[in-house]
Amino acid sequence: MNILVMENVTKKFGDVIAVDNMNVSIAEGEIFGLLGPNGAGKSTAINMIIGLLSIDKGTISILNKDTKRNKTFSKKNTGIVPQDIAIYEDLTALENVKFFAGLYGLRGAELNKAAAEALEFTGLSDKANSYPKSFSGGMKRRLNIACAIAHKPKLMIMDEPTVGIDPQSRNHILQSVKILNQMGCTMIYTSHYMEEVEEICSKIAIMDHGKVIALGSKEELKALLTDANVVWITISDAISKADENKIREIPGVLQMDIEENTIKISTAKEVHNLDKIIGYFTENKFSIKSVESRTPDLETVFLSLTGRSLRD
Amino acid sequence: MRMIYIIFKEFKQNIRDFKANIMMVLFPIVLIVILGTAFSGVFSNDIKLNDIHVLYAVQKDSELADGFQSFRKTLQEQMEITFTQTTNIEEGLNSIKNAQYSCFVLLTDDPQEIRVYKNARFSFEANLVESSLKIFAARYDALKLIAQTNPSALTGIMASPEEDHIQSESLDKKREPSSLDYYAVTMLTLFLLYASLTGFWSVKNEQNFKTGNRILCSPVTKIELLAGKTLGGLLVTLIQTAAVLLFSSVVFKVYWGTNLLSVVLVILSEAVLAVSLGTGIAYLIRNDGTGAACLNILIPIIAFFGGGYVPLSSLQGPLAAITALSPLKWTNEAIFRLIYNQDYQTMLPAILINLAIAAAFLMISAYLSKKEAV
Residue A177 in any domain: the answer is yes
| pLDDT recorded at residue A205 | 93
Q: Does one domain contain both A164 and A69?
A: yes
B219 to chain A, any CB pair closer than 8 A? The answer is yes
Q: Does one domain contain both A45 and A98?
A: yes
Between these two residues, B172 and B99, which has the higher pLDDT value?
B99
Q: Is the pLDDT of residue B63 over 90?
A: no
Range of the domain at A91: 2-223
Q: Which of 85-104 (A) contact B at CB < 8 A?
A: 85-91, 95, 99-100, 102-104
Residues of B in contact with A50 (CB under 8 A): 217
> Where a domain ends, among A166, A188, A223?
A223
Q: Which residue of B has its CA nearest to A151?
A: B218
Asked if B213 lies within 8 A of A103 by C-beta distance, the reply is: no
To the nearest whole angstrom, how far is the Cα of B363 from the nearest Cα of chain A?
A: 21
Which CATH number do you get for residue A26?
Answer: 3.40.50.300
Task: Write down the H helix ranges in chain B.
Answer: 2-15, 18-21, 27-38, 63-78, 89-97, 123-149, 151-159, 179-193, 195-208, 211-217, 222-250, 260-284, 288-305, 317-322, 327-341, 347-371
Q: B209, B213, B214: best mutation site toward chain A, by most A Cβ within 10 Å?
A: B214
Mean per-residue pLDDT, B174-186: 82
Q: Does one domain contain both A82 and A167?
A: yes
d(CA B117, CA B106) in angstroms, rounded, equals: 8
Task: Quick: pLDDT tens for B342-368.
Answer: 888 899 999 999 999 999 999 999 999
Which residue in the set A72, A82, A90 is minimally distant from B219, CB to CB? A72
Complex prediction ipTM: 0.79
Task: Quick: pLDDT tens for B188-217.
Answer: 999 999 999 999 999 999 999 999 999 999
| pLDDT recorded at residue B171 | 43
B286 to chain A, any CB pair closer than 8 A? The answer is no
To the nearest whole angstrom, how far is the Cα of B217 from the nearest Cα of chain A?
A: 6
**Of B182, B250, B177, B180, which Cα lies nearest the Cα of B34?**
B180
Which residue in the set A80, A102, A105 is minimally distant from B217, CB to CB? A80
A78 to chain B, any CB pair closer than 8 A? The answer is yes
| pLDDT recorded at residue B172 | 43
Q: Does one domain contain both A57 and A194?
A: yes
Q: Does one domain contain both A46 and A173?
A: yes
| pLDDT recorded at residue B163 | 46
Residue A307 in any domain: the answer is no
Compute how many other C-beta atoms are within 10 angstroms of the C-beta atom of residue B200: 26
Residues of A in contact with B218 (CB under 8 A): 75, 100, 103-104
Residues of A in contact with B6 (CB under 8 A): 103
d(CA A264, CA A274) in angstroms, rounded, equals: 12
User: Residue B44: which pLDDT band, with cuts at 50, 70 and 90?
Assistant: low
To the nearest whole angstrom, how far is the Cα of A72 from the nearest Cα of chain B?
A: 5
Identify whether the C-beta of residue B125 lies closer than 8 Å to the C-beta of residue B47: yes
| pLDDT recorded at residue B169 | 45
Q: Does one domain contain both A102 and A189?
A: yes
d(CA A218, CA A197) in angstroms, rounded, equals: 9
Residue A181 in any domain: the answer is yes
Q: Which of 196-215 (B) contact A at CB < 8 A?
A: 209-211, 213-215
Residue A308 in any domain: the answer is no
Q: Which of 50-69 (A) contact B at CB < 8 A?
A: 50-53
Mean per-residue pLDDT, A295-311: 71
Q: Is the pLDDT of residue B94 over 70?
A: yes
Residue A183 in any domain: the answer is yes
Number of H helices, E strands in chain A: 11, 14
* Residue B95 identity: S
A105 to chain B, any CB pair closer than 8 A? The answer is yes
Q: Which residue of A has its CA nearest to B208?
A: A86
> Which CATH number is B52-159's, of 3.40.190, 1.10.1060, 1.10.150, 1.20.1530?
3.40.190
Task: Say how many domains are in chain A.
Answer: 2
To the nearest whole angstrom, how far is the Cα of B272 from the nearest Cα of chain A?
A: 24
Q: Does one domain contain both A143 and A177?
A: yes
Q: What percent of chain A has pLDDT over 70?
A: 96
Quick one: which H or E segment has residue A229?
strand A228-235
Q: What percent of chain A has pLDDT over 90?
A: 61
Q: Where is average pLDDT lowest: A220-224, B90-94, B115-119, B221-225? A: A220-224
Q: Does one domain contain both A91 and A150?
A: yes
Task: Quick: pLDDT tens for A183-199.
Answer: 999 999 998 788 888 88
Residue A238 in any domain: the answer is yes
To the nearest whole angstrom, how far is the Cα of A294 from the nearest Cα of chain B?
A: 43
Task: Quick: pLDDT tens for B77-92.
Answer: 877 888 899 988 888 8
Compute CA distances A255 → A31, A199, A229, A250, whole Å. Answer: 37, 31, 11, 11
Task: Quick: pLDDT tens for A239-293.
Answer: 888 899 999 999 988 888 888 889 988 888 788 888 999 999 999 888 999 998 7
Task: Quick: pLDDT tens for A49-71.
Answer: 999 999 999 999 999 999 999 99
Q: Is this structure's pTM higher than 0.90?
A: no
Which CATH number do you get for residue A233?
Answer: 3.30.70.100
Residue A255 in any domain: the answer is yes
User: Residue B154: which pLDDT band, with cuts at 50, 70 and 90?
Assistant: low
Q: B218, B223, B225: best mutation site toward chain A, by most A Cβ within 10 Å?
A: B218
* Residue A305 identity: L
In chain B, list all ranges with CATH 3.40.190: 52-159
On average, the pLDDT of chain A sits at 90
Compute how many other C-beta atoms are within 10 angstroms of the C-beta atom of residue B208: 12
